[in-house]
Amino acid sequence: MTTLELIASVLGVLAVWLTVRQNPLCWPIGLVMVSLYAWFFFEARLYSQVLLNGVFAAMQLYGWWQWTRGSGGEGGRPVVGATAMEVGAGLAVAVLGGVGLGLVMATTTEAAYPWPDATLTAFSLLAQLWMALKRWQCWVLWIVVDTLYVGFFLFQGYWLTAGLYGLFTLLAIAGIREWRQVRLAVR
């Protein structure tokens, strides 16, 4: 465990907790967290994770904008459900993205675990997009992805990061409950 991993983990917990609470401060705190994790994963040679956190940095800015100014300038987006077409298209793009990124990482880098790293990266991007758009289904996808990340990081001996993703899984369970409740209350 490094100081960098510890700081990034603490910020990650805070950012996800704020996301569950629908507090827009989750986005700037998340921006710092993903920047620190990009550095951490670069040192670990998990290059898909570096790319993921780079894209997450841009998505933190996008999510911050969506939550504060999106949806026609009415002060942010409401929690809504993704349509079946959005879910199907999103999952298909994530599968293709995982295969494409895995192929690139496996053939052009010395990435430690190119295929699982790329697959989890692609599905994380989809979950992050759905989160920025306040689709409650983001939490379902995060539960699956975060659970898989726990095993992925345990396998590599990144105990603190595995624990963080275990906590993210619990926060995602809280997130789906809270966001669905908010959505039902609005109806």
Per-residue pLDDT, 187? 58
> For the chain, how many structural domains are there in total?
1
Q: Is residue 10 part of a domain?
A: yes
Q: Which residues of the chain have pLDDT under 50?
A: 73
Task: Identify residue 14 by its one-letter amino acid code.
Answer: L
Provide the 3-class DSSP secondary structure of residue 38: helix
pLDDT of residue 115: 95
CB atoms within 10 A of CB 88: 11
Q: Is residue 172 part of a domain?
A: yes
pLDDT of residue 140: 97
> Does some domain include residue 77?
no
pLDDT at 69: 81
Rounded to whole angstroms, the Cα distance separating 161 from 97 reads: 24
Among 142, 165, 154, 182, smallest CA distance to 8 is for 165
Q: Is residue 76 part of a domain?
A: no
Quick check: is 139 in a domain? yes
pLDDT of 5 reads 85
Q: Is the residue at 157 inside a domain?
A: yes
By residue range, what is the domain housing residue 120?
A: 3-71+84-186
Residue 78 domain flag: no
Say what the pLDDT of residue 150 is. 97
Task: Report the predicted TM-score, pTM, of the whole model to 2 decimal places.
Answer: 0.85
